[in-house]
Structure 1
Amino acid sequence: MDLDELKHQALRIHTLYDRHNQRERGRTWTRTDFMLGFMGDVGDLAKLVMAEEGTRAMPGGRAALEHELADCLWSVIVLAHLYGADLEHAFTRTMAELEEKLTKGHPRESPA
């Protein structure tokens, strides 16, 4: 699945959540609500990583870790949409900047 397909699926779920929240709570999530939800997911992810590393007990194992990673990716895609950010362009630009910074003055490593 490419990024456009991920975005399409993520935004479809976003729309379904909007409908659900409107029906159940009388309002949809704001951008701040999405950010706070993302922070909660990152906290859950941190606990699951600790469990994966053996420093904490958490139910769910690998499946829970993968679920939380997917939740975090969904949140990033939705937040990018809500703020009008071109995630693909921003990612490509940021990776190029990081690569330049990390390889400056060092010969490029050849792929294995």
Structure 2
Amino acid sequence: MDIENLRRRAMRVHDRYDELNLAKRGRAWTREGFMLGFMGDVGDLAKLVMAAEGARDVPGGRAALEHELADCLWSVLILAQKYNVDIEAVFVRTMDELEKSITDKLDASPPTP
């Protein structure tokens, strides 16, 4: 699945969550609410990475790690959509900039003995 299809799928789930939240709570999540949810997902992901590295005990194993990675990607796609960011173009541009910066630094550093 390409990034555009992922974005569309993420928005379909987002729209269903809006329906659910409106029906159950009388309001939908704001952009700030999505950011706070994303922060919670990143915290959960951090705990699962620590567990995968043997630094803590967290139930769920690899399936939970995969789920949190997908939750984080979903949040990034939703936030990009809500802020009108072409995430694919920005990702490519940012990776180009990072590769150039790293290459420039490697080229400028003396070889290690």
2:53 counterpart residue number: 53
2:110 counterpart residue number: none
Q: Deviations for 1:9-58, whole angstroms, at most 9, x for unmatched residues?
A: 10000000000000000000000000000000000000000000000000
1:89 counterpart residue number: 89
TM-score, with normalisation over the residues of structure 2?
A: 0.92
Task: Report sequence identity in percent.
Answer: 63
1:38 counterpart residue number: 38
TM-score, with normalisation over the residues of structure 1?
A: 0.93
Structure 2 counterpart SS, 1:104: helix
Structure 1 counterpart SS, 2:96: helix
1:11 counterpart residue number: 11
Number of residue-to-residue matches in the alignment: 107
**Runs of 5+ in structure 2 lacking a partner?**
108-113
1:80 counterpart residue number: 80
Q: Deviations for 1:46-97, whole angstroms, at most 9, x for unmatched residues?
A: 0000000000000000000000000000000000000111101100000000
CA distance in 1, matches of 2:42, 2:103: 30
1:98 counterpart residue number: 98
Shift of 1:104: 1.3
Q: Which runs of 4+ in 1 moved over 3 A?
A: none
**Runs of 5+ in structure 1 lacking a partner?**
108-112
RMSD of equivalent CA atoms: 0.9
Is 2:67 aligned against 1:67?
yes
The residue identity in structure 2 corresponding to 1:77 is L
Shift of 1:100: 0.4
CA distance in 2, matches of 1:55, 1:104: 36
Q: 1:46 to 1:105 in 2, by over 3 A?
A: closer
CA distance in 1, matches of 2:63, 2:81: 27
